[in-house]
Each structure stands twice: as C-alpha cells, then as structure tokens.
Chains A and B, each alone.
Chain A
Amino acid sequence: GAVVSQHPSWVICKSGTSVKIECRSLDFQATTMFWYRQFPKQSLMLMATSNEGSKATYEQGVEKDKFLINHASLTLSTLTVTSAHPEDSSFYICSAILTSGELFFGEGSRLTVL
C-alpha cells in the first residue's frame, strides 16, 4: 500500500509553545490530506481536510487559529498546534487519500503538553 510518514512520532512541549507535526506521502502525490485527533480508547475525530494550494476546511468546533494547517506541496501537509495547553495533549494522525478512494494513515504523533 501507499506510504504516509508522520513526524515527530512523539513530542513533549511546555504550555504556551507551538508544535509542528509533518505528514508526508512518500510514494504518491496527495492533493487531499486529513488530520485527525484521537483520545485514548476512542475513535478518530476528523479535525480538518487539507487541500494542496488552498485553505484547509475545518470541522465544526475545531479552532482554525489554534490548529494551523498548511499543505504547500503535493507530498507535505503540516499541522501546527499554537500556544499549546495541556488539554491539547492527544494523539494526532494524518492521512492521505488516493484517487481510488483508498485512505492511508501516518503512524501518528503523540503530543504531551506540560
């Protein structure tokens, strides 16, 4: 299957700082990528749809100024958690979709805000 790489896999930061997570499609071009958030033992929660060369589309209730998404190329989307607080601690997962409709996920990034 297609490979989606996410970095970093684990990050700890102090409250008030910003953290950037990268999502790369390694062997295909991804016009559309998605960002999810997952709490322990819960399902995926879609945060936003990232479209190459245009603004991201955020799901209801997700603060776009808090979670900045940039999709500057066909192989890279970034999620920046700005002014992070302990309640932002979570597992963030990106995914990229092929034209066939198949969706492939990255390995996930665990964020801990102290």
Chain B
Amino acid sequence: QKEVEQDPGPLSVPEGAIVSLNCTYSNSAFQYFMWYRQYSRKGPELLMYTYSSGNKEDGRFTAQVDKSSKYISLFIRDSQPSDSATYLCAMGFGNEKLTFGTGTRLTIIP
C-alpha cells in the first residue's frame, strides 16, 4: 500500500461545475497538508497549505483535512478552463521531505 493514494484520473468536468479532488494516506503522523497545481512543463505551484484537521478557504478553493479518516480534499468552485492542470496532494511533518500523491489530471470543458 502506498503511503499516499490519489486517483490519477483523468477527470473531466464542464465549466462552472464543482470539482472534488481527494487523497487518502496511511501515516497518522503527517501534520502538514498541501495541494499543488502543475501545468504542463511547469513546476508545481502551491495552492493550499493546511496544518492539522479542518477547512481552509481561499477564493474558489477549499481544502479539507480529516485526520481521523486520513483523508484530505480540495474543492474547486465555479471551475474555469484555466483550472485544467494536474493537481498533486502532498503531506509531511516538518522541515523534511514531503510525500506526494501521484497527481490527478483535471480538464475543465468549456
């Protein structure tokens, strides 16, 4: 079993829809949880950073962490074609290397 599981997709949704991206993990020691967006041939861009359980909202993006279920989610409201990218979840426990999901390829259809 991988330490972090993420559905690779691809996931296609119509413009304006709500997108739900998810990751599960097995290491209960993880404390920091992040979501990255990566466009083709570009480095990943940090979208959301959360510490421990709870919700965090930033514009159209909402990150949820449920440590009891070892489950994190990223919601994208009012999805736009420019949101089409690969989304990576990542988690860690301090100033050390992160563990990444495999990434979900998302396409928003105009």
Which A residues are closer than 8 A to B by beta carbons?
A: 1, 4, 6, 31-32, 34, 41, 43-44, 46, 49, 91, 93, 95, 97, 99-108, 110
Contacts and interface: CB of A to CB of B under 8 A. Distances in A.
Interface residues of B, number: 26
A100 B94 CA distance: 7
Contacts, number: 56
A105 B47 CA distance: 12
A35 to B, nearest CB: 11
Given A43-B103, A46-B97, A105-B36, A91 B44 contact: no
A26 B105 CA distance: 30
A93 B98 contact: no
A108 B49 contact: no
B46 A101 contact: no
Contact of B46 (A1, A32, A93, A108): A1
A101 B43 contact: no
